[in-house]
Structure 1
Amino acid sequence: MRSTFGAWMSDASELNEGRYWQAEHFSGRLLTEHMNISAFEDTGIKTTDVKRFYQGCGHVIYKESFYFHNAGTHRLIKFDLNTMRTKTLIMAHSRYNNLTYLFRNSKTYFKFAVDENGLWVIFASNTGDNTMVAKLNPKTFTVESIIKTAYPTSKAGNAFIACGVLYITDSTDRRVTYAFDLKTQSPLDVSFDLRSANGILAMLSYYPNKELLYMWDNSSVKTCKVKFKQTKT
């Protein structure tokens, strides 16, 4: 890719199968649509101005809408890719400016995530150094619940949510070193290698419809197959 920072996305629901979108850099307002993954080096079939500047690399596309953080504010935006209309959600008591990032490596204040349970957003509390997770209703674009993980954002590199569990990487984004069960609201003993390379991991997102991790890693877009290990009870 041309930029160190950015996000690449498919629709995390079953819609728009085969299409991909790209939001280059950690600040901008253009969203480029591609016909398939092999077309990423082309100019794209469509470029959309999403009307507001996004911040960071924590965006997601879910059920034909683009979710992003409106730069410099505590507003989250749902941009309908069909109607071009927007909905706004204000996240009170969150950090959103003055370089007080949730994930410093990717210059991200809010990280959207989709798993088997639906849509989430990860953010940092403005009272103490706590990683917070909010469950969102995508239809009404409202908060259903907020969970405090008590994990310090100063130790986090990036994160994703899969099967109701929040996974957090270390400050170098080389290992997943912490996990938190969002249903039981309790930490899990988890540690595994994610990547071997140095450099900047700008984006890390789980796609439940594909069981893949998408990465924007060292100016390249990559996928990582996820395999869930069944345990006997």
Structure 2
Amino acid sequence: MFPRGLSIAVRMAVISLIFAVFLVSASTLLSAEVEHQYREVHGVLENGNRCVCKMQFSEWEFPVERFEQLQDLSQNCTKSLEERKSEMLDAHLNVKNLQQYDKQNLLFMKGHLKKMKNQLESFSVYGNLHIGNCSGGILRNISEPVLAQVNPYGTSYHYGGWGMDSMPGSPRHYWVMALLSSNIYGNVVRTYNSYKDFLTAKSNIDISVKTSYTTANAIQGPGVVVYNNSLYYNCYNSGQMCRFNIATKGITNVVLPNAGYNNKFPYCYYDCYGHTDMDFSVDENGIWVIYATENNYGNIVLSKIDSISLAVLQTWKTKLFKKAVTNAFVVCGVLYATRYVSNTEEEIFYMYDTITNQEAKNLNIRFVKYSPNVANIHYNPVDRKLYIFNGGYMIAYELLFY
């Protein structure tokens, strides 16, 4: 290995130098391995058994451009958050100023938001589900009055009912019934053979139901309706239903089982409406009676009745206390109830679907009225209008559905 003639000392020095170089090389390789231990280098076989490795050092370099982009994004986000924070503080100050200096607008906004909330809740409960048994669906809104005039007896007669015959296919005869004795009793129904006669208050026919206000089968309370030329009402001083045939003058009376009467369960939300224990209503399915019973704890009971015999065909019990509403009516098998909002505004707030047994108390459908007193509300399936006897005024409205 070494040339001849070299001394042992020289040879030992050379060996020491080679060993030192080996240690330095090994140390350098180990350091590089540690530094790049997370780097992966993939090789491929070329020209037989020769392994070729391509190393892209650019991938290991610090991503300066990307870092600058992230730094800019962070700064922009921080700026945006600061702007949103500033907007929220401004809104907070605006609300405080409204509360302190402009309470009227604040209350208006509160009412508006409440109305929107109720409408959204109604949508969340029902969505596009089919309500009732008509194609119209759930009641959405009520128009401004399309007809309004004082009843023929004068505004001092606050209790009664009016409308058009509710039987599909019947002649479009109009009728008015006002309670002429103590706002409780009546015995006459006034009829008109045409809409023109009704508007002009001409050619009316007064038909006596009984000769006396306070006698058996006389009219008690304003919850009346005309269907197929017959007047339906609560018989005087009893828990009976009466049907008066306007053509023949014949009367049919039948007890309504367990129904309260004589002001046991009247409508009573804002002010009690005397002798409204029984309330008759008509829809596309026929005639109904709305009342309350002790067995249902004074809550509203709705019964479908036979239009001729007055026999109860089917009954539904709701959880709505009858004295907690102003009035009620039926549309497409759905019971709707109203409550007082102000002297000039009423609200339909409740519905009960007899098809699905679903109920809701957040409809929030408001309409204009002329007086605090709402004595009679009923729907007519012939023209799809709502008829109201309101403080002596006769008012009609269009109904809008979803």
Query: How many angstroms apart in 1 are the aligned matches of 2:286 and 2:202?
Result: 31
1:14 to 124, 146, 168: 168
* Corresponding residue of 1:155: 324
Q: Which moved more, 1:10-19 or 1:143-152?
A: 10-19
Counterparts in 2 of 1:165 and 1:83: CA distance versus 1, 3 Å: same
Kindly provide the CA deviation profile for residues 65-117 of structure 1, in whole angstroms up to 9, marking residues without a partner as x: 111111210010111112111111101211101x2243144421111111111
* Corresponding residue of 2:384: 211
Instruction: Structure 2: state its 5+ residue gaps.
Output: 1-150, 211-216
Query: How many angstroms apart in 2 are the aligned matches of 1:197 and 1:82?
Result: 33
How far apart are 1:139 and its partner, in Å? 2.9
* Corresponding residue of 2:257: 92
2:187 to 25, 29, 38: 29
One-letter code aligned to 2:390: D
* Corresponding residue of 2:355: 183
2:266 to 102, 106, 129: 102
The question of whether the paired residues in 2 share the 8 Å contact of 1:174 and 1:197 is answered with no
2:337 to 168, 171, 191: 168
* Corresponding residue of 1:223: 396
Query: How many angstroms apart in 2 are the aligned matches of 1:201 and 1:24?
Result: 13
Query: How many angstroms apart in 1 are the aligned matches of 2:319 and 2:371?
Result: 28
Query: How many angstroms apart in 1 are the aligned matches of 2:226 and 2:245?
Result: 10
Bigger Rg, structure 1 or 2:
2
Q: Secondary structure at the match of 2:335?
A: strand
The question of whether the paired residues in 2 share the 8 Å contact of 1:15 and 1:64 is answered with no
Q: Which moved more, 1:28-37 or 1:208-217?
A: 28-37
Instruction: Structure 1: state its 5+ residue gaps.
Output: none
Q: Percent sequence identity over matched residues?
A: 24
Q: CA RMSD in A?
A: 1.9
Q: Which moved more, 1:103-112 or 1:174-183?
A: 103-112
1:120 aligns with 2:280: no
Kindly provide the CA deviation profile for residues 179-226 of structure 1, in whole angstroms up to 9, marking residues without a partner as x: 000122220352211225552111111001101000112321111001
One-letter code aligned to 2:396: T
Kindly provide the CA deviation profile for residues 36-55 of structure 1, in whole angstroms up to 9, marking residues without a partner as x: 34544637532111123212
Query: How many angstroms apart in 1 are the aligned matches of 2:197 and 2:174?
Result: 9
One-letter code aligned to 1:123: Y
The question of whether the paired residues in 2 share the 8 Å contact of 1:55 and 1:109 is answered with no
1:53 aligns with 2:218: yes
How far apart are 1:167 and its partner, in Å? 0.4
* Corresponding residue of 2:159: 5
The question of whether the paired residues in 1 share the 8 Å contact of 2:226 and 2:232 is answered with yes
Q: Secondary structure at the match of 2:187?
A: strand
The question of whether the paired residues in 2 share the 8 Å contact of 1:130 and 1:153 is answered with yes
Q: Secondary structure at the match of 2:394?
A: strand
Query: How many angstroms apart in 1 are the aligned matches of 2:266 and 2:226?
Result: 20
One-letter code aligned to 2:233: F
Query: How many angstroms apart in 2 are the aligned matches of 1:219 and 1:196?
Result: 11
Query: How many angstroms apart in 2 are the aligned matches of 1:44 and 1:156?
Result: 37
Q: Which moved more, 1:155-164 or 1:123-132?
A: 123-132
Q: Secondary structure at the match of 1:159?
A: strand
Query: How many angstroms apart in 2 are the aligned matches of 1:39 and 1:216?
Result: 19
Q: Secondary structure at the match of 2:323?
A: helix
The question of whether the paired residues in 1 share the 8 Å contact of 2:261 and 2:277 is answered with yes
1:66 to 220, 228, 231: 231
The question of whether the paired residues in 2 share the 8 Å contact of 1:160 and 1:166 is answered with yes
* Corresponding residue of 1:192: 365
Comparing both structures, which one devotes a greater share of its residues to strand? Answer: 1
